[in-house]
A = this chain, B = another copy of it.
């Protein structure tokens, strides 16, 4: 049987190189490649736990069947909701893995969006103190952003992503046809991270991004390449994202707080978009970001077809947003007084402000200033 070809990128994280296989309508070929590469590791591969996002049952069943031709597969479904992104869900995966007979020669395959990738990724990092992990991203955030990062994490009651670890996947594979099943609106929302990459690190890719955004859902391949291209040099040099790569936290300070307080009703991509507009307004007021550069934020985000910001944020509890900002997980990366929060800010497109004293590029901002900027949207 002839199988359609796939292409391959290599993502560098410090000394580690992770293959990223992608193509369109090539699930059988990708499944074969996954088993082949796992089998080539020392000890081979004896079983796979497929952690499958409940939102992609159809494609997950195909993947399970294709993998199952060459290796024992157990499937565990997972609801891709923020409220399930917890240690108890990780424990459920770990208990299931052991009950299904996984060993150190097995692998966990995480198929779904960023939430499922994070939960299953943390489970892989913890099972037997580290079991091979394969990401099969099925959303734009997962495919173009979350997998280009080693960060795995879950929420605590005080905020998002406060508990986690860094873990290098063995392999990433994406059939772009999976993404085409995502409604156009959701796809575009998810591409907020790509807008972020261009604003913070790769202004030269603006035109390519706009063309690709306007071509969604046809031109996913171009988006993958733009996403990886913009971010890759930074994570290669700073795989733990505690130095220069922290610029990709742009929009995530207010964004995480909004997403968390909305209980996930405002999805990650949309929340990051509002977070970037808030960061731009903060930078305009305090660090002289030009009105033109603020306008470029609005112009690029307009390509995402989002609803009106003020209307979306109106119903969110302001006290809860302040509390979530105060618990932001960037606290402690640098000096930050009580009542302040650390943010990535720009003083121009592609020009993140340096942090104090040569530290990471994070600037302390009073929470009240962030709240004022939010109210000004």
- Residues of A at the B interface (CB closer than 8 Å) are 42-43, 46, 87-88, 90-91, 94-95, 98-99, 102-106, 125-130, 151, 153, 156-159, 162-166, 240, 327, 329-336, 359
Contacts and interface: CB of A to CB of B under 8 A. Distances in A.
A95 B158 contact: yes
A290 to B, nearest CB: 32
Contact of A159 (B98, B102, B327): B98
A138 B88 CA distance: 30
Contact of A129 (B103, B130, B153): B153
6 contacts: A43-B333, A91-B156, A94-B162, A98-B159, A98-B327, A129-B153
Given A87-B90, A126-B163, A130-B165, A332 B157 contact: no
B333 A104 contact: yes
B94 A331 contact: no
Nearest to A331: B103
A158 B98 contact: yes
A99 B156 CA distance: 10
A158 B105 contact: no
B151 A129 contact: yes
Contacts of A159: 98
Q: How many copies of the polypeptide does the oligomer hold?
A: 2
Q: Secondary structure of the A side of the interface?
A: loop
| Leading 5 A-B pairs by shortest Cβ distance | A103-B332, A104-B332, A105-B332, A103-B331, A126-B163
A17 to B, nearest CB: 19
Nearest to A151: B129
A91 B87 contact: yes
Contact of A127 (B106, B126, B163, B359): B163
A91 B42 CA distance: 34
Given A43-B335, A87-B91, A98-B159, 16 more contacts: A43-B334, A43-B359, A88-B91, A91-B156, A95-B157, A95-B158, A99-B158, A103-B331, A103-B336, A104-B330, A104-B331, A128-B332, A129-B151, A129-B165, A129-B166, A129-B240
Contacts of A104: 330-333
A160 to B, nearest CB: 12
A106 B165 contact: no
Contacts of A91: 87-88, 156, 163
Contacts of A151: 129
Contacts of A334: 43
Nearest to A335: B43
A327 B100 CA distance: 11
Contact of A162 (B128, B327, B330, B335): B128
Contacts of A359: 42-43
A158 B94 CA distance: 10
Contacts of A158: 95, 98-99
Contacts of A157: 95
A332 B46 contact: yes
A9 B43 CA distance: 37
B87 A332 contact: no
